[in-house]
Amino acid sequence: MANMRSIRRAVRQIPVALAFVLAVSSPSAHATDLVANRSELIQRLLPAVVNIAVRKEVAPPTGSQQASASTGSGEIKSYVGSGFVINPSGLIVTNYHVVEDAFDIAVTFSDGTILPATLLHASRLADLAVVQVKADHPLTPVQWGDSTKLNVGDQVFAIGNPLGLGVSVSAGIVSGLNRDVQDSPYNHYIQTDAAINHGNSGGPLFDMKGRVVGVDTALVSPTEASAGLGLAIPSDAAEFVVRRLMQYGWVRPGWVGIKIQQVTPEMARAMGMQRPQGSIVSWIMPGGPAQHAGLAIGDVILKYGDDAPHDERALLRDIVKTPVGKAVNVVIQRDNNELTLPVTVAEWPRSKWDERDAPLPAEHPNGRIPPDLGLSLAAIPTSKRASLGLEDTEGGVLVADVVAGSDAARRGMTNGDIILRVDRDATASPDDVWKALNAERAEKREFIMMLVQQKHPRAPGAEWVVLRLHEPAG
């Protein structure tokens, strides 16, 4: 029988604007105090959980006839995910795959407030990102919990934005621990039957005291919907990665310069071990900390400090979490003898790490923000007004060119469009537009609205276009 299992990122693509819906089951007539207390707990947590809507530019297939010849940009698609506040200043944690390659990020809170967000730091390997919003008041943060104390059967609940519906709550239990579905030492997922669907990505998994014990990340299902197999990054890994990202701008993992493999039952029999345990060294970096400490290929690592890692991923997690410069006693088995070797942990070479992990995306494909939103404007000759469908008294400014990859291009503007208004003010010349832009910048506005008569309208009549304001380059 074909393998029907499919691992899907819990991020949802959406074609329309989001509605904000609270989906919490009403207690029955026989509701207990426990249910009432749980409802109160959830109400206190809702302000800390957010919906994240992003827009990404998806490159068209080679030779596509739909690509815009004037902008060179691909198709713009919208996606939704979730996140949670970790600091009153506006720091929010989500999955990296939610905001990866996004040129526009909007965060919606449980009270309906929508704020633009910027990506601060990200780790592709850990699939975690930190985004920043600027609010006019301190935000409500979550409290991290200890995922190492979770047991199978513990009750948990997830809050997120499934299928783009809005803030929703689902409850369940911890169905499994240490699930390995990807090639990364961070991937020792919590499995839960609390419903996780597309759009839950980046949302928190809470214990029954309201502490975050996981970051909802993926679902395992033969269909697009939840099959009761949700996966969350444990809080012990997530909190470590986030803390390092905020402190150093990257994970700055510990490193000893070795490659290891899990000791299998066959390996154990080949080495004369009574049972399989530990991780065997298969390669050592010349001149690295492990070689300096005396480790050799074929050594079996049984203990790392006070820990006896149950598999090679657990050992790697122990190493990357070790403070740089700390000496750790490593217990190994070599030729049926146990030895203890002190290994001084070094910093993972930054250049090598950056090859594996995600650098921050450039704010603009050309490496800089184009001046004045990427627009080149021109006055409209009187002789052409009639052919453009404009009355003599109507005003308007012609869009002569749009820089490829700019915010204006991504939002659908193209050469031949006509700007009729900036906010509520009519425009009759390019100077009117520039003055309005400078006035909005002086007021520290994040966005500006333009009423645009499009060259290729989707429907008759002008449309409002919202552009993100940037300071002119240079």
Question: Hey, which residues are catalytic here?
Answer: 97, 127, 201
Token pair 């998994």 is found at 205
DSSP labels for 75-91?
A: EEEEEEEEEEEEETTTE
Strand segments, DSSP code E, in 383-434 are 397-402, 418-422, 425-426
Q: Which of 189, 166, 185 is nearest to 176 (CA)?
A: 189
Half-sphere exposure of 416 (CA within 13 A, CB side): 13
Half-sphere exposure of 240 (CA within 13 A, CB side): 22
Cα separation of 205 and 170, whole Å? Answer: 10
Geometric angle at alpha carbon 436, from 433 and 442, rounded to 5°: 145
Residues with Cβ < 8 Å from 114, sequence gap 6 or more?
106, 107, 108
Cα separation of 312 and 188, whole Å? Answer: 11
Q: Which of 292, 343, 297 is nearest to 318 (CA)?
A: 343
Cα separation of 327 and 348, whole Å? Answer: 15
Q: Which residues of 9-31 are buried (b: 16+ CB within 10 A; e: fewer)?
A: bbbbebeeebeeeeebeeeeeee
Q: Residue 426, class by beta-carbon neighbours within 10 Å (0-12 exposed, 13-18 middle, 19+ buried)? A: middle
Q: Which of 197, 127, 193 is nearest to 160 (CA)?
A: 197
Q: For residues 233 and 126, is the Cβ–Cβ distance under 8 A?
A: yes
Token pair 């090639």 is found at 183
Cα separation of 107 and 53, whole Å? Answer: 6
